[in-house]
């Protein structure tokens, strides 16, 4: 596996966008590989412009669920690209983000062929190589608020992040083939603080590749982002995020309460005891019924035998 390069970003409450009604996309990071470049006004650039235009125009199609990939051109000038919008945004917000990303892709990576731009609402990716349905972790970036840590019960917070992210990843990976591989979760931490989590893969990944990508992503969190109130792991094929504020636009179930502490005076009922009680409750009535049946049968036999003995014998003559 290629080495994972990380980029640490100081994120203020303004730079790490919260959810707003307008859902304006906020830029997070970009990667422009200088390993392969193209010449301005070349056939490759013309194909790239056509591809970017196609991505933007398809961002509002209702049947795409915020994901689209396409390719244009022939080797050696073929271009591959895709966009992935966050699973909760509507089609207009998706198109706005994709349009902004397409515009900034040319500005931020003017001659590079391998380009990835991450926003809080979408991802845009272009390359001169086919990468569809392939899990990629390179390049990888993590972002967090480095100016503050969780003050109250930081170790419990870390455990809650680990458990919650694990659950969220599981939910994201069970999507049907071609469906959104996206999940969010909200859990209770304190009376004044909840934890919000998100996990998402590109839908062209298999469930196993999606699971592998997301598991690798959350495995980074303890080393990069311990006790941080918010963090994101960005890969080309998947991303995860958690915050202590609601950053997605989904009405979720009420926050899960913390598990109650075990009572020292109450012992859980053992399964063996339950089984014994059930068996006794079944066997005793059956046994009593059998005893009564046997007693009744024996009584009737003795009575019948007595009646046969006391009857007078006939002499065979008619009167």
pLDDT of residue 61: 87
Residue where a domain stops, chosen among 213, 246, 262: 262
Per residue in 20-33, pLDDT (tens digit) is: 444 689 999 999 99
Give yes or no for a contact between 197 and 168, defined as CB atoms under 8 angstroms apart. Answer: yes
Residue where a domain stops, chosen among 115, 132, 149: 132
**If pLDDT is split at 50, 70 and 90, which confidence band does 64 have?**
confident
Q: What percent of the chain has pLDDT over 70?
A: 70
Q: Is residue 68 domain-shared with residue 175, that is, in the same domain?
A: no
Q: Is residue 120 domain-shared with residue 146, that is, in the same domain?
A: no
Q: Which residue has the tokens 């304190």?
A: 190
Range in 169-183, 184-198, 281-295, 298-312 with the lowest mean pLDDT: 298-312
Q: Is residue 243 domain-shared with residue 230, that is, in the same domain?
A: yes
pLDDT of residue 311: 35
Give whole-number Cα distances, 221 to 27, 149, 151, 202, 245, in Å.
21, 14, 18, 21, 18
Q: Is residue 283 part of a domain?
A: no
The more confident residue out of 227 and 252 is 227
Q: Is residue 258 domain-shared with residue 141, that is, in the same domain?
A: yes
Q: Is residue 251 domain-shared with residue 139, that is, in the same domain?
A: yes
Q: Is residue 139 domain-shared with residue 228, that is, in the same domain?
A: yes
Q: Is residue 168 part of a domain?
A: yes
Nearest to 166 by CA among 261, 240, 84: 240
pLDDT of residue 302: 53
Q: Is residue 276 part of a domain?
A: no
Per residue in 130-146, pLDDT (tens digit) is: 999 999 999 999 999 77
Q: Is residue 110 domain-shared with residue 150, that is, in the same domain?
A: no
Sign of CA dihedral 138, 139, 144, 147: positive
Q: Is residue 153 domain-shared with residue 180, that is, in the same domain?
A: yes
How far is CA 147 from its chain centroid? 28
Q: Is residue 160 domain-shared with residue 227, that is, in the same domain?
A: yes
Can you give the residue range of the structural domain that contains 171?
Answer: 135-262
The more confident residue out of 311 and 45 is 45
Residue where a domain stops, chosen among 132, 152, 183: 132
Q: Is residue 118 domain-shared with residue 139, that is, in the same domain?
A: no
CATH number of the domain that residue 189 is part of: 3.30.430.20
Q: Is residue 301 part of a domain?
A: no
pLDDT of residue 253: 41
The more confident residue out of 179 and 14 is 179
Is residue 274 pLDDT above 60, yes or no? no
Is residue 129 pLDDT above 90, yes or no? yes
pLDDT of residue 282: 56
What is the rounded average pLDDT of the residues 165-192? 91
Q: How many domains does the chain have?
A: 2
- Rounded to whole angstroms, the Cα distance separating 29 from 143 reads 9
Q: Is residue 48 domain-shared with residue 122, that is, in the same domain?
A: yes
Residue 261 backbone phi and psi in degrees, to 5: -70, 145
**If pLDDT is split at 50, 70 and 90, which confidence band does 65 have?**
confident
CB atoms within 10 A of CB 1: 6
Is residue 19 pLDDT above 70, yes or no? no
Q: Is residue 315 part of a domain?
A: no
């Amino acid at each position: 596996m290629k080495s994972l390069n990380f980029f640490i970003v100081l994120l203020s409450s303004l730079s790490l966008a919260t959810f707003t009604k307008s859902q304006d996309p906020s830029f997070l990071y970009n990667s422009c590989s200088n390993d392969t470049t193209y010449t301005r006004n070349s056939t490759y650039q013309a194909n790239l412009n056509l591809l970017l235009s196609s991505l933007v125009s398809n961002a509002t199609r209702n049947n795409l669920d915020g994901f689209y990939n396409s390719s244009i051109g022939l080797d050696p000038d073929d271009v591959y690209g895709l966009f992935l919008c966050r699973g909760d945004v509507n089609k207009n917000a998706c198109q706005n983000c994709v349009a902004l990303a397409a515009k900034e892709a040319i500005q931020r990576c003017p001659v590079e062929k391998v380009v990835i731009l991450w926003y809080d609402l979408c991802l845009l990716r272009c390359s001169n190589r086919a990468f569809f349905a392939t899990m990629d972790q390179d390049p990888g970036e993590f972002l967090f608020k480095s100016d503050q840590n969780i003050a109250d019960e930081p170790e419990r917070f870390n455990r809650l992040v680990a458990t919650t992210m694990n659950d969220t990843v599981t939910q994201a990976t069970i999507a049907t083939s071609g469906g959104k591989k996206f999940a969010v979760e909200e859990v209770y931490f304190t009376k004044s603080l909840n934890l919000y989590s998100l996990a998402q893969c590109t839908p062209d990944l298999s469930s196993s590749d999606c699971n592998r990508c997301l598991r690798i992503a959350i495995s980074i969190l303890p080393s990069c982002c311990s006790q941080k109130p918010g963090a994101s792991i960005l890969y080309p094929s998947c991303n995860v995020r958690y915050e202590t504020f609601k950053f997605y636009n989904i009405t979720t179930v009420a926050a899960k309460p913390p598990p109650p502490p075990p009572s020292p005076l109450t012992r859980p009922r053992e399964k063996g005891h339950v089984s014994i009680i059930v068996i006794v409750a079944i066997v005793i009535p059956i046994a009593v019924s059998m005893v009564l049946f046997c007693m009744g049968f024996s009584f009737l036999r003795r009575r019948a035998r007595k009646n046969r003995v006391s009857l007078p014998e006939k002499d065979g003559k008619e009167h």
